[in-house]
């Protein structure tokens, strides 16, 4: 079984309960159609289990087959500097079939991001290195396709593209509820 390397830390983007006993990490590619399908499942997980889990997204752009995936990942990282990582994440997935550099800039404008700062941030070596670090951590963790999920640090080998992942998470939340402390 593959282990998540590194464990979740301050460098990661997460939603949900940081003290949750169930932690889900997704390695995803913003242009991957399977990740687009997983996005709707993750939205369902957020709706049903949001306060009972912690969810993390890490970038895994497959640039050889998805030419705009790296730029999309950079755009979400740039938006994070404006406090809008998850808003950009959602917009990119909701527009994934029409991704171009121009479209990504329009999405940033739609979010109200400062265009000059956004353009500068897209060139920032720190953000480029963050996307590369996520990708490299995926390789070290045994990611060989997108999406790949890790639950409590272990690679999830079950089927995510139906109710199986949601039910598995429900079961884990029932076994390991969030403590009231």
Q: Which domains does the chain have, with CATH numbers?
A: 13-175 (3.40.30.10)
> Cα separation of 65 and 105, whole Å?
21
Spatial strand order of the sheet with 154-155 comes to 13-16, 53-59, 22-28, 148-151, 154-155
> Cα separation of 160 and 173, whole Å?
17
**Res. 179: pLDDT tops 80:** no
Tell me: the pLDDT tens digits for 47-106?
Answer: 999 999 999 999 999 999 999 999 999 999 999 999 999 999 999 999 999 999 999 999
Tell me: the pLDDT tens digits for 54-71?
Answer: 999 999 999 999 999 999
**Res. 181: pLDDT tops 90:** no
In the Cβ-directed half-sphere of 6, how many Cα atoms lie within 13 Å?
A: 7
Q: Which of 145, 154, 169, 160 is nearest to 4 (CA)?
A: 154
Tell me: the pLDDT tens digits for 134-165?
Answer: 999 999 999 999 999 999 999 999 999 989 99
Q: Which of 53, 33, 62 is nearest to 144 (CA)?
A: 62
**Res. 1: pLDDT tops 80:** no
pTM attached to this predicted model: 0.96
């Amino acid at each position: 079984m593959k282990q998540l390397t590194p464990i979740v830390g301050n460098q990661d983007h997460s939603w949900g309960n940081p003290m949750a006993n169930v932690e889900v990490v997704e390695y995803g590619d913003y242009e991957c159609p399977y990740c687009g399908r997983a996005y709707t499942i993750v939205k369902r997980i957020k709706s049903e289990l949001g306060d009972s889990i912690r969810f993390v997204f890490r970038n895994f752009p497959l640039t050889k087959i998805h030419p705009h995936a790296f730029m999309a990942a950079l755009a979400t990282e740039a938006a994070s500097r404006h406090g809008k990582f998850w808003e950009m994440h959602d917009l990119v997935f909701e527009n994934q079939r029409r991704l171009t550099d121009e479209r990504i800039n329009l999405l940033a404008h739609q979010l109200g991001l400062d265009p000059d700062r956004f353009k500068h941030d897209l060139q920032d070596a720190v953000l480029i290195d963050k996307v590369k670090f996520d990708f490299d951590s995926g390789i070290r963790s045994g990611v060989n396709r997108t999406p790949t999920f890790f639950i409590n640090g272990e690679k999830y080998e079950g089927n995510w593209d139906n109710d199986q992942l949601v039910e598995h998470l429900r079961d884990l939340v029932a076994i390991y509820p969030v403590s009231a402390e």
